[in-house]
Amino acid sequence: MRKVLLSLSLTAISSITLFAQQDAQFTQNMFNKLAINPGSAGHNGGICGTLLTRQQWTGFEGNPQTHLFSADARISKHGIGLTVFQDKLGIETSFVAKLAYAYHLQLGPGELGIGIEGGMLSKKFGDNFIAIDDPNLDPSIPNAGTSASTFDFGAGLYYSIANKMYVGISTLHIPQTSVEKAAAGNSGVGALNFEQSRHYYIMAGYDWDINNDKKWILKPSILAKTDAASTQLDINVLMEYNMKVWGGVTYRIEDAIGIIVGANIGDFIKFPGLKLGVAYDLTTSSLGDHSSGSFELMLRYCTSIYKQPKREVYRSVRFL
């Protein structure tokens, strides 16, 4: 597994150019697999729901603000999932709602999830432009807000071994459809025409139980993402203590260093399966001179579909 992780890391690093993909990004991506790989739907074996909210580059007016909810469940060999998220950047608002399905089969020592997803992608542009020159003087800019929607489709493979290691590869926005809307009067002036690029993701991670007692678990992982025009790599290292609390760092090439802390808060409030995570990114690019960093909050809950049968003891008066 260490050789696999090293190979994937070197492959991703060798193709690095810079970031700027159209898809929203998260620092706690190890808890956000379903949104970028439909093959992971149901891989936990039960029901899981995740809520992520991110404020990026605080201090900028019109900075990216992203909110995501995903949920998946496992029924026998079948996994199903739902992802809904909204991403707002200046006058642009993106909304995505998609369903995922994965078929899980045993392959060697682990399990392979083969997944597909389909849904709706919507783009909306407001009219509150901030510009030095009057935007009304530019015929290519619409004078009023506009929006349009289109169909979206993706696929992915996700392989895991006993929840100790995983490797995944996926492709989103396969059709590369356009979000289009004609301008008033079909004049072509001020029309909405947004080209959605195809995105590719490679993820891998490993849980190393240092003393084989589940006391200290080191969790390195990577996520490489590209739209064939630019590439980004996240390198993550978390340390979990006693399966209750964790902390670590993320390095996003030429972009940011993130600090992650979290806890299985369900163990403290008698609500097993509830996790809370917080991440803060310190921007290392030139944007750092004008930004207070990025803040991200994660809430996740998982539970088993099949409850353990309650053991009952019956004593007969005939056998005392």
What confidence score (pLDDT) does residue 14 get? 37
Tokens of 299: 């809430």
CA dist., res. 232 & res. 225, Å (int): 5
Total domains in the chain come to 1
Residue 316 lies in a domain: no
Compute mean pLDDT per 10 residues along the chain, 320 residues long, and list them. Answer: 42 36 83 95 93 84 86 95 92 92 95 96 78 67 74 96 92 87 54 81 95 93 90 94 95 90 90 93 76 89 73 57
308 DSSP assignment: P
Cα 214 to Cα 109, 239, 242, 244: the distances in Å are 21, 11, 6, 11
What confidence score (pLDDT) does residue 224 get? 95
Per-residue model confidence as pLDDT tens digits over 74-114:
999 999 999 999 998 888 889 999 999 999 999 999 999 99
What confidence score (pLDDT) does residue 49 get? 96
Tell me the CATH number at 272. Answer: 2.40.160.40
Residue 113 lies in a domain: yes
Residue 318 lies in a domain: no
Tokens of 54: 């991110």
Q: Dihedral sign, CA of 231, 237, 240, 245?
A: negative
Q: How many CA atoms lie within 13 A of 294 on its CB side?
A: 29
Residue 262 lies in a domain: yes
What confidence score (pLDDT) does residue 18 get? 34
Cα 201 to Cα 71, 145, 231, 275: the distances in Å are 20, 33, 10, 25
- DSSP, residue by residue, 29-91: GGG--TTT-GGGTTTTSSEEEEEEEEE-STTSTT--EEEEEEEEEEETTEEEEEEEEEEEETT
Residue 313 lies in a domain: no
What confidence score (pLDDT) does residue 189 get? 54
Residue 315 lies in a domain: no
Residue 193 lies in a domain: yes
Structural domain that includes position 131: 2-303
What confidence score (pLDDT) does residue 190 get? 56
CA dist., res. 182 & res. 124, Å (int): 13
What confidence score (pLDDT) does residue 11 get? 41
Residue 314 lies in a domain: no
What confidence score (pLDDT) does residue 123 get? 85
